[in-house]
Structure 1
Amino acid sequence: MLKNINEVRVPDSKIIKDAQDIVREYGNEIIWNHSNRVFLFGEVKGVQDNLTYDKELLYITALFHDLGLTEKYSSDDLRFEVDGANAVRQFLSTYNYEKGDLQLAWDSIALHTTLGVAEHKENNVALLYHGVGMDVMGDNWNQYSDEIRKAIVNKFPRGNFKHDVIESFYNGFKHKPETTFGNIKSDVIKYFEPEYPQNNFCSCILRSKWDS
Structure 2
Amino acid sequence: MPKLIIRQNTPKTLTTLKITWVAVLGLILMIAGTLWWFQPRQENLLPLLSTADKTIQTQYQATQTKLNQLIQGFNQRFGQKQGSKNYHEQAIAQADAILEQLNQLDEIVEQANLPSETLKTLNTAHQYQRDYWDTQRHFQELRLSRFEDEAILASSPVHHELAVEAEADAVAPTAKKFQFATPPAGVELPADFCVPGASTCKAQ
Fold shared, TM-score > 0.5 on shorter chain:
no
| TM-score, normalised relative to structure 1 | 0.30
For the pair shown, which has the larger CA radius of gyration, 1 or 2? 2
Q: Which structure dedicates a bigger proportion of its chain to strand?
A: 2
- Higher RCO (CA 8 Å, separation ≥ 6 residues): 2
TM-score, with length taken from structure 2: 0.31
Per residue, is there more helix in 1 or in 2? 1
